[in-house]
Amino acid sequence: MINTLIEYLRFPFVRYAIIVGVLIALCSALLGVTLVLKRFSFIGDGLSHVAFGAMAIAGVLNISNEMLLVLPVTVVSAVLLLKTGNNTRIKGDAAIAMISVGALAFGYLLMNIFSTSSNLSGDVCSTLFGSTSILTLTTREVVLCAVLSIASIIIFILFYNRIFAVTFDESFAKAAGLNTEGINLLIAVIIAVIIVLAMNLVGSLLISALVIFPALSAMRIFKSFKKVTISSAVLSVVCALSGILVSILAGTPTGSTIVAADVVCFALCCAAGVLRGKI
């Protein structure tokens, strides 16, 4: 088995998949802690559907580099969604649900009406579940992905203390003179970027898993914000790595294998948390 693995690792596309997978898993786990605690677990889901809709439009318009359309549209939706969180007329969760299914419906509708490919359901399926796209990344996509995720990680580290303050108590942070709107905007932009990147990895239906599972697993065991953040990043990377390797060896779809690894990891952490509570 080790030999087959080494054999596979000779191919550049496998190495690309691993690099991209690890970076995206790392970023999504870092932001995931904040989103889960701010009660925004579903934002990943909503935004990924928006990205799906945007991708359908890009396909219809025959835009060669989809990112140019998908990224700005998703960023704008993220900003709008986090803003409506404070709005009283439409609550945050309802707004997310609305945008999410709306974008999904329009995306599929457009793909159907202006179908350019002979295998429509195959296209839809791979956008939704990211079946093999991670293994067909071009060098340019890998570089873009690496740059954006490393930038997100650096920004997260620099703003770590402020993100903590805003997550724990927004009104106190604002009273202390922190630009809370600015920080929320930053969180929204980073999460949108990560979600667009993660579509390659797990597809748009499974992104929420990448965002929330590592954070929830880490919270079962650890008790300080720093430990939760670090361990959720570590768990996420381990799960992504093992998911990718298993999927290569066993020929399973990459995205769902990673998510399955996350679920198993969550179950183990729950058990560990319970055991720890008893001791």
Partner 1 sequence: MALISVEGLATGYESRLLKDDISFTVEEGSYLCIVGENGSGKTTLMKTLLNLIEPVSGQIRMNGLTHKEIGYLPQQTDVQRDFPASVKEIVLSGCQGRCGMRPFYSRAEKKLAADNMERMGITELKDKCYRELSGGQQQRVLLARALCAAKKVLLLDEPVTGLDPRAAMEMYEVISGLNREGMTIIMISHDIEAALKYATHILHMGSNIFFGTREEYVNSDTGRFFLREGGVQA
Q: Binding residue for partner 1 (CB under 8 A) from 113, 171, 250, 251?
A: 171
* 258, two tokens: 């990673």
Residue 173: CB minimum distance to partner 1, A: 6
Residue 172: CB minimum distance to partner 1, A: 6
Q: Binding residue for partner 1 (CB under 8 A) from 15, 91, 226, 276?
A: 226
CA dist 95 and 146 (Å) reads 31
Q: Binding residue for partner 1 (CB under 8 A) from 219, 235, 237, 240?
A: 219
Mask of contacts with partner 1, 127-166, x by CB under 8 A? ------------------------------xxxxxx-xx-
- For residue 223, what are the CA distances in angstroms to 43, 68, 160? 24, 40, 17
222 binds partner 1 (CB under 8 A): yes
Q: Binding residue for partner 1 (CB under 8 A) from 136, 172, 272, 274?
A: 172
- For residue 154, what are the CA distances in angstroms to 149, 151, 186, 215, 239? 9, 5, 13, 19, 22
Site for partner 1 in 69-108 (CB under 8 A): none
37 binds partner 1 (CB under 8 A): yes
CA dist 166 and 168 (Å) reads 6
CA dist 24 and 21 (Å) reads 5
Q: Binding residue for partner 1 (CB under 8 A) from 38, 210, 256, 258?
A: 38
CA dist 115 and 106 (Å) reads 13
Going by C-alpha positions, the residue among 88, 50, 23 that lies closest to residue 188 is 50
276 binds partner 1 (CB under 8 A): no
Site for partner 1 in 39-58 (CB under 8 A): 39
CA within 13 Å, CB half, 72: 5
CA dist 225 and 213 (Å) reads 16
Nearer to partner 1, 16 or 213 (CB): 213
Q: Binding residue for partner 1 (CB under 8 A) from 2, 223, 251, 279?
A: 223
Residue 229: CB minimum distance to partner 1, A: 9
- For residue 91, what are the CA distances in angstroms to 73, 88, 96? 21, 6, 9
Residues at the contact surface with partner 1, assessed by CB under 8 A: 37-39, 157-162, 164-165, 167-169, 171-178, 219, 222-226, 228
